[in-house]
Structure formats: C-alpha cells, structure tokens
Amino acid sequence: MAWLRAMLALALVVTALLVELTAIPLFHLPGATPDILAVTVIALGFVGGPVRGAATGFLAGVLLDLAPPSAGVLGLSAVVFVVAGYVAGTLGAERDRGAFATVGITGLLAAATTLGIAVVGGLVGDPRISWDRVTGLMLTQLAYSLVVAAFVVPLVTVLWRRVDPPTSRYELSRQ
C-alpha cells in the first residue's frame, strides 16, 4: 500500500501545481497568489506524518522551482515546503483537533511559507524579494489559504483514508 500512498501524494501535488500555475492567475486576485500547493503539502503532512510531509514538501518544492516560468533560486521552495510538511506532520499527530482548528493551522502554516520563502530568499540573495511587500503578501496568503484549506484538507483526508484506512482499535481474535 505504500506505493498507492506515494501515487496519491504525487497526483495531488501535480494537480495542485497545475491548478496554481495555470488557473489561479486567471482570476487576477489582489496580493499573493493563493498557494494551493502549500496547502496540499500541509494537508498531506497532517494525514501522512512528519516524514511523508517532509518528503512531499521536497517533491512539491522542487517541482515548483522547476516549473516554468522559473526565475528564482532552485531549491528555495523545496527548503520551505520541507519544513512546512514536517511541521504539519508533527501537528497532525493530534487526532482530536476540530475542523476549524485544522483549517486555521493550515492557513497559518501556508502564510508562514510566504515568510519562509522571503527569509530564505533574502539569505541567498534572491533579487525578487521585496521586504516592503512581505506583510501584505502574508495577510492575503492567510486569507486565501483559509478558504482553500476549507476544501483541500477534507478532500485530502478522505482520499488518504480510502488509500490507507485507519487500523481498528479493537482486535477481534478467533478462539
């Protein structure tokens, strides 16, 4: 079943990347572009755990950095998405969290990826980083991510449970 989980994660990441790069810019939304890929990585981290979240974040970040129009530093998004996927996987271990809290945490982590890309980009000298816009981009990213997470997180959770059903709490043994 591990290969099925990997195929599901790959399909979700590629779909989110394609939607983020092709369909979302057509809406001409103010501020940041809604980061569907970050929300998908965070949702996969919630359901898959820290290691799968980090691996998915690395895959998503590298694909985003390689996808045209790629004008930035290769690996910049990968570093930030690895951290976001790992943190989401660590926070996803708590199963008694409500839906609103999960969506709120997803929105905050997605907004933190915007700050993370600005910080790491500033450290490596990415010329696209404009510090006077970071606060506005984080706020719009938070708003967009809360809306996107309300749809993406439940969808990812349902699909993951179909592929990897939870184990039963009770063992039924034959005697």
Question: What total number of domains does the chain contain?
Answer: 1
Distance of alpha carbon 78 from alpha carbon 64, whole angstroms: 8
**Closest CA relative to residue 139, chosen from 25, 29, 13:** 29
Domain of 61 in residue numbering reads as 2-163
**Closest CA relative to residue 84, chosen from 66, 64, 67, 99:** 64
Is 168 a member of any domain? no
Is 174 a member of any domain? no
Q: Name residue 74's amino acid.
A: L
Per-residue model confidence as pLDDT tens for the chain (175 residues): 689 999 999 999 999 999 999 999 999 999 888 999 999 999 999 999 999 999 999 999 999 999 987 777 889 999 999 999 999 999 988 877 888 999 999 999 999 999 999 999 889 888 778 889 999 999 999 999 999 999 999 999 999 999 977 666 665 555 5
Domain of 115: which CATH number? 1.10.1760
Distance of alpha carbon 14 from alpha carbon 16, whole angstroms: 5
148 Cβ contact partners less than 8 Å away, ≥ 6 residues apart: 34, 35, 36, 39, 110
Is 67 a member of any domain? yes
**Closest CA relative to residue 38, chosen from 157, 139, 144:** 144
Distance of alpha carbon 7 from alpha carbon 16, whole angstroms: 14
The alpha helices in the chain, defined as continuous H runs, are 2-18, 36-48, 50-66, 76-91, 99-124, 134-163
SS3 28: coil
Is 46 a member of any domain? yes
Distance of alpha carbon 129 from alpha carbon 141, whole angstroms: 16
Is 170 a member of any domain? no
**Closest CA relative to residue 6, chosen from 62, 78, 55, 39:** 55
pTM score above 0.85: yes
Is 30 a member of any domain? yes
Is 27 a member of any domain? yes
Inter-residue contact 35 to 114 (CB < 8 Å): yes
Inter-residue contact 57 to 89 (CB < 8 Å): no
Distance of alpha carbon 93 from alpha carbon 55, whole angstroms: 17
Is 171 a member of any domain? no
